[in-house]
Structure formats: structure tokens, C-alpha cells
Amino acid sequence: MSALAHYFETAGIPTTLSALVREHAEAMHPPRALAVPFELGRPLGAPEDSAFQRRVITAALALLERPSGPVLEDYPEDAPADAAASEADEGWACPVSFAQPKADAPTTFAARLQAEVAQMKPWHEAWKRRKGFSGVGAAGAEVEALADYLGQFADGADVSPPVAAAQPADGMKLAINDLMTFYQEAANAQPGTAGGIQQISDWFWTETVAGETLLAARKVSKTGDDKRVAFVLDRLALPHIAAVHDR
Amino acid sequence: MPEGLAKHMRHLPLPEFSETPYVSGPAVAERRVALVSTAGLSMRGEAPFGMGGADYRVIPGDAGPGDIVMSHISVNFDRTGYQRDWNVVLPLDRLREMASDGVIGSVADHHYSFMGATDPAEMESAAKDIAGHMAAEGVNAVLLLPV
């Protein structure tokens, strides 16, 4: 982002930015940067807190009035405690209780994932009713079709993504993108509360069939012919969290 | 941020700049403000971002949260905040309020998104292209928001 600031400013357009990684702004010295102590993914710090967002924007825009630069300033305020996350710390539970597999339960990733998606669906519908829309849709396919593809891939089948993408790797990435969004939105729909950042991530990667399927797909891709698909699964689609890699 | 991720972020290769350009302008209350996000946002139905994409998408100033999808390639940032409230990533509602209150001059008719996992040096020509469009509509303040 600091590099983009250089490019825009060089072209004559004044810039200011929210810097989530202070070290990057220090190294690249963009014209104006507000170093913020927020989570990656939240450049304005807090969802559903318009006053806080507005204070951060105001502080960033104020740097435009400095007579000279580069300016790198620290935003003094931490993001307010996420009420939902605080409740989650006290024991957030997924809205869906995943029963232990029965003896005759399906064993393939494709079948297990499809069953789990079906369990999550009512909560995703609840999310859509609450928000009026869903962020799922980048892949342009139904989540069931994406789950079927990802499950079959993890089962070792030779499958193509049901996505109008130029390359299988892009299709894989978009399928994962939408499946994760579907789960995160469904998890956020739990009555009364929603999980915090870490809770939902931990839950997805350590408790769901979906997380298990993606980790299995990662293993399968290592022996496959398409190195770009393997790259997506190994480096891009899975978080840099050691614990989930041991699952 | 988990330490493993923080270490990864600190060691990313970065473009080097020997000087910092600095363009002055009027008071904030007189500025026309555009947003540039690197969250991999595109309009629903539009081509999502691909691997290594250094291209950009245009977000119309009258877009709503349901019009937009996120296709960033990385999972190493929180998306739940954005899912609950798009303004934490793309604060168009906030800018509209600030323009209405006279805190900023106006909100641009067009905003832009890149997909930040790409080497930023590859985005230079796209950024110049966008800057030309911004100048044409009188934008004199860009708020850059990463994820």
C-alpha cells in the first residue's frame, strides 16, 4: 500500500493511508501514513462502530494538511473490544452442533463436506436475511457445487473447478474463497453473538469438515501435476498458523 | 497478529524508494476524496481477481455492500469484520456522512480496488492509469486502505 502511495503521489494525487504493518511504512516512507494497531483485514479497526471508524478516517485525512513529509504517525487508540469477540472468549460455540459420525456415516470428504454444508445452510440463510445479501459469489457457482469439487479433490479425484476461471489454480482459489465466506457468515449468524476473529478461524480450521477437507486437499495437491494448484493450497489458501498444519 | 504471520509480513520483499513525492492541496474540508483498497474487491458478476493480478476494479460511488464481493487470494487477514460491516474495509458510508457534515468536500464518483497479494511494483502502471481518471474528476485526496 505504501508503494501505491508513491505511485499516486508521483502522478500528482495526494494520498494518505492506514498502515497495518508499521514496518512496511517505515521501510517505504510513503508521503503520509497513519500506523494503526489493528488486525489485518480491519484498516479502520472496528466493524459496526461508525464513530470509531470516523475518528480513524479523520486522523488519516488530517495528515493531508501537513506542510511537508514524509509523515508517519501512530494512531493512539486501540480498536474497541469487540463485544462479539469478548462473548466468544467466554465460550463461543458454533451454531451447528456436529454430531459424532455414526457407523454408517459417509466417509469421503465429498459426502461429509456436503452434509456439513447442508447443516450450515440454515444459518447462512439467517445471515442473508439479516444483512440483505451475502459476500459469497466471487466464484459464480453454488456453494454445494464448490463443496463437491473441493471434497472430490481431497478424495483424490481428477476434477475441475465449477468456476469460469482461466486456470484451475484460480478456480481452486475462488472455490476456497467462497466456501470460507459461507462458513464465516453462517458462524456470524449465531443468535445473540458472533465469534471473534480468532475464534472463527480456529473453529473453521480445527473443528469443521471444511477445514479438514482443505488440509487434506493440500496434501493431495503436493503429489499432483498442477504446481500452481499446489501453491494455492500450500501458500495462499491456508493460514500461517502452525497448529492447523498439524491437524 | 500471530507471531508466525507477523514474521512473514516483516520479511516480505518491498520496493525501494529513494525519495518521497509530496503534493500539497487545500484543507480537508475542501477535498474530493476517493478510496483505494487492496482487499480484492470487485462488483458482483465482474471478473474476480486471479493469482498475481496487478489489475484493478472500479467501485462506483453509489455502490452498496451487497454489490461487492471479495476475491483476495490470501486468507491471512480477518474477513469477519468486513462481512459484518463493509465500512471497516471500504468506508463509503462514512465518507458520505463526512461529506454531508462538511468535514470533507465531496466523495468521488469512482473508487478502486487492487488485490494486495501481488508485488506492488507490478501495479505502478495501473496506479498511473487510475491517477489520470482521478485527476479528471477532480479527486485531490486518496485514502489508501490495505487489509
The pLDDT tens digits of the residues spanning A135-148 come to 999 999 999 999 99
Cβ contacts of B3 within 8 Å, gap of 6 or more: none
**Are the beta carbons of A19 and A35 closer than 8 angstroms?**
yes
Q: Report residue A160 as a C-alpha cell.
A: 475441475
Q: Kindly report which listed range (A55-59, A123-127, B1-5, B113-117) carries the lowest average pLDDT score.
A: B1-5
Q: Assess B15–A contact: CB distance below 8 Å, yes or no.
A: yes
Other Cβ atoms within 10 Å of B133 Cβ, number? 15
**Of B32 and A81, which is predicted with more confidence?**
B32
Alpha carbon A68 to chain centroid distance? 37
Using CB atoms, which residue from B4, B104, B121 is nearest to A242?
B4
Alpha-carbon distance A115 to nearest alpha carbon in chain B (angstroms): 24
Of A13, A69, A240, the CB nearest to B135: A13
Amino acid at B67: D
Cβ of residue A13 closer than 8 Å to a chain B Cβ: yes
Chain B contact probe: residue of A1, A75, A215 with most B CBs at under 10 A: A1
Q: Are the CB atoms for A31 and A71 separated by under 8 Å? A: yes
Indicate yes or no: CB of A17 within 8 angstroms of CB of B145.
yes
Q: Does B78 touch chain A (CB under 8 A)?
A: yes
Distance from CA of A22 to the nearest CA of B (A): 9
Q: Give the gap in angstroms from C-alpha A182 to the nearest C-alpha of chain B.
A: 10
Q: Reply yes or no on whether the pLDDT at A99 is more than 80.
A: no
Q: A92 CA to chain B: closest CA distance, Å?
A: 15
Cα A121 from Cα A142, distance rounded (Å): 12
What does the pLDDT look like over A178-220, one tens digit per residue? 999 999 999 888 665 455 677 888 889 889 999 999 999 999 9
CA distance B135 to A95: 49
Size of interface A-B (CB pairs under 8 A): 274
Given a cut of 50, whether residue A38 has pLDDT beyond it is yes
H or E stretch at B32: strand B32-37
What pLDDT shows up at residue A243? Answer: 45
